[in-house]
Amino acid sequence: MHNIANLTARAMSAAASGKPLPTRSTSAGQMAGGQKADRLENPPREQVLALVAQIFTRLEAIFPRTFSSAFPSADMMTLARRELAQEVASWPALPTRRVVERAMSDLKREGSTWPPAIPALVSMLAPTPEDFGMPATGDAWCEALAHAHEPNRHRWSHEAVHMAGNATGWWDLTHTTAKSQWPRLEKRFHKHYAALANRVMAGEDLVPRQLLEHDSHRTPAELAERAGQEEAQRRAEAAGLPHRMNSDQGLRSLRAALKA
């Protein structure tokens, strides 16, 4: 309890001074091209405990009449703090000061007379891509779809959207017509975007780099079809034909150009 009290005092002192809340550290060293190592370290235990102590101190101030009833014993308080700390420690970054202040402001405006349960706190405090200047996952997916045909000409809202689209595969995003395949593509994009968002939350500046499309996700028939259509597209472009053509149109136009 003495350690918790010290951490609480330190957290409150930081809040009063206007210093930013602790943020998650990343592994030391960088890879070629300015990329930091992909392995993300857990937030330091002391920073997690300080943040949790600060949050519970704020909750006690906001709910002075019911706080002791919600946590009637030292054991209950310890268990509640431990649950929140374990969850926070698994996040790619600690909540920013703006996120914490927004959560506390929402609690005061809701008008509840009881402090929130741990699941509600987790939902309110969990970092999101939007908190770090990135579009929401759904918006990022829509942006990738809308500009997959000319990814190098579009001014992307965030480099992570471009990188996630590239990793998903621009060819797949522009040539897939079967509705049954779109959930698989969207899931693949979400996976790549979430990984990139975690890197941004951990403090990494994304540097554009060439990401290979994942051919392991495709069947031999899909690979053969893609190779044929890419060859037709290359020949069409060499003959000066329009960029936006499907494979059949391209082949017909190419044959006509060769005959001429």
What is the rounded average pLDDT for all residues in the chain? Answer: 77
In 43-131, which residue ranges form alpha helices assigned H by DSSP?
45-62, 67-70, 74-89, 97-110, 118-125
Most trustworthy range by pLDDT among 84-93, 204-213, 219-228: 84-93
User: How many angstroms separate the CA atoms of 151 and 119, rounded?
Assistant: 40
Pairwise pLDDT comparison (239 vs 87), residue with the higher score: 87
| H or E element, residue 177 | none
Q: Name the residue among 242, 246, 244 with its Cα closest to residue 257.
A: 242
In the numeric block, which tokens belong to residue 195? 């990984």
- SS3 of residue 167 by DSSP: helix
Query: What is the structure's pLDDT at 99?
Result: 92
What's the pLDDT band for 115 if we cut at 50, 70, 90? very high
What's the pLDDT band for 196 if we cut at 50, 70, 90? very high
Query: What is the structure's pLDDT at 8?
Result: 40
Pairwise pLDDT comparison (224 vs 210), residue with the higher score: 224
Chain centroid to Cα 221, Å, comes to 33
What's the pLDDT band for 33 if we cut at 50, 70, 90? very low
Quote the DSSP letter at residue 34: G
What's the pLDDT band for 96 if we cut at 50, 70, 90? confident
Distance (Å) of CA 252 to CA 17, 105, 162, 205: 71, 63, 33, 46
Residue 87: which residues within 8 A CB-CB, separation 6 or more? 118, 122
What single-letter amino acid sits at 236?
A
Pairwise pLDDT comparison (260 vs 176), residue with the higher score: 176
Provide the whole-model pTM.
Answer: 0.57
User: How many angstroms separate the CA atoms of 256 and 131, rounded?
Assistant: 54
Question: Domain coordinates of the chain in residue numbers?
Answer: 2-127, 137-259
Most trustworthy range by pLDDT among 34-43, 120-129, 138-147: 138-147
What single-letter amino acid sits at 22?
P
Query: What is the structure's pLDDT at 4?
Result: 41
User: How many angstroms separate the CA atoms of 225 and 183, rounded?
Assistant: 20
